[in-house]
Amino acid sequence: MLKIPYDMIMERYALESLKKWKKSANRKPMVLYGARQVGKTWLMKEFAHNEYKQAIYLNFDDNPELGDYFQKNLDTKRIISALSYHFDTKINPEKTLIIFDEIQECQRAKDSLKYFAENAPEYHIISAGSFLGVASGKFPVGKVDRITLYPMSFYEFLKAIGREKLIETIKKHDQTLLETLSGLLLDLLRTYFYVGGMPSAVAEYVKTQDLSEVRRIQNGILSDYKDGFARHI
């Protein structure tokens, strides 16, 4: 069963897109694209926590042996049964979100999305992988829905730091008020440009306001990107 740690709360606008996907009569398995560390895993778990009674979480990078359930054949009934036994829980099609994380590590899991779309559309399945990883293999054409997750926007940053009232002010286009608040808005925009939109960097800033720690996290992300490029060259 999925256990979700809550060491911080953020709001991502992509959650609204996922809610619409859940309610869609033509729903297909969802593929969440995005660069590493933009918050794909967090988003899927937050979506599960808010919208479903339970979630089944498979990470094909941390637990490559999970890929064995997809090797024999791609019969959806067999896969669901195997996952039910593995996680020791009943998978209810309408109340369970099935999460395939780091799906680029298991091409057969990618292939299975076609059969879930065709033969078992009642199951709610969401998967995620980095841009570099998913580019190394193919998803079934026309059998998946897709959303791209980007780093946090300025609006999302303002919400994270508790300045959500400013968002409505900006959206109202009240020129007089905006001119009055221009100094504050410019300071916040400069901070956003420095911190950036990577959730871990934003989380550190929210927690400590220590820009040196933010820079350390940013450098770590850059190092991880370099390692990722090396894996796919």
Which helix H or strand E contains 56, and what residues bound it?
strand 54-59
Report the length, in residues, of the chain. Answer: 233
Q: Closest Cα to residue 145, out of 25, 49, 9?
A: 25
Radius of gyration of the chain (CA): 20
Which one has a higher pLDDT value, 2 or 138?
Answer: 138
Which one has a higher pLDDT value, 113 or 8?
Answer: 113
Q: Closest Cα to residue 56, out of 25, 31, 82?
A: 82
Share of the chain above pLDDT 90, in %: 79
The upper half-sphere exposure of residue 120, i.e. CA atoms within 13 Å in the direction of its Cβ, equals: 21
Which helix H or strand E contains 52, and what residues bound it?
none
Q: What is the mean pLDDT of residues 65-79?
A: 95
Q: Is the pLDDT of residue 16 over 70?
A: yes
**Most confident segment among 31-35, 74-78, 161-165:** 74-78
Which one has a higher pLDDT value, 21 or 8?
Answer: 21
Q: Is the pLDDT of residue 35 over 50?
A: yes
Residues of the chain with CATH 3.40.50.300: 14-148
Q: Closest Cα to residue 138, out of 173, 113, 101?
A: 113
State pLDDT tens for residues 203-229.
999 999 999 999 999 999 998 787 766
What pLDDT was estimated at residue 8? 46
What pLDDT was estimated at residue 142? 85
Question: Read out DSSP for 60-103?
Answer: TTT-GGGGGGGTS---HHHHHHHHHHHHTS---TTTEEEEEETG
Q: Is the pLDDT of residue 158 over 60?
A: yes
Q: What is the mean pLDDT of residues 132-151?
A: 77
pTM (two decimals): 0.84
Q: What is the mean pLDDT of residues 74-86?
A: 97
Question: Read out DSSP for 93-130?
Answer: TTTEEEEEETGGG-HHHHHHHHHHHHH-TTSEEEEE--
Cα–Cα distances (Å) from 90 to 54, 56, 138, 191, in that order, read 10, 10, 30, 47
Contacts with 27 (C-beta within 8 Å, 6 or more apart), sequence order:
21, 121, 124, 145
Which one has a higher pLDDT value, 26 or 10?
Answer: 26
Fold classification of 14-148 (topology level): Rossmann fold (3.40.50)
Decide: residue 12, CB within 10 A, 0-12 exposed, 13-18 middle, 19+ buried: buried
Q: Is the pLDDT of residue 135 over 80?
A: no
State pLDDT tens for residues 101-123.
999 899 999 999 999 999 999 99
Structural tokens at position 138:
């193919």
Give me the torsion for CA of 8, 9, 13, 14, rounded to 10°.
60
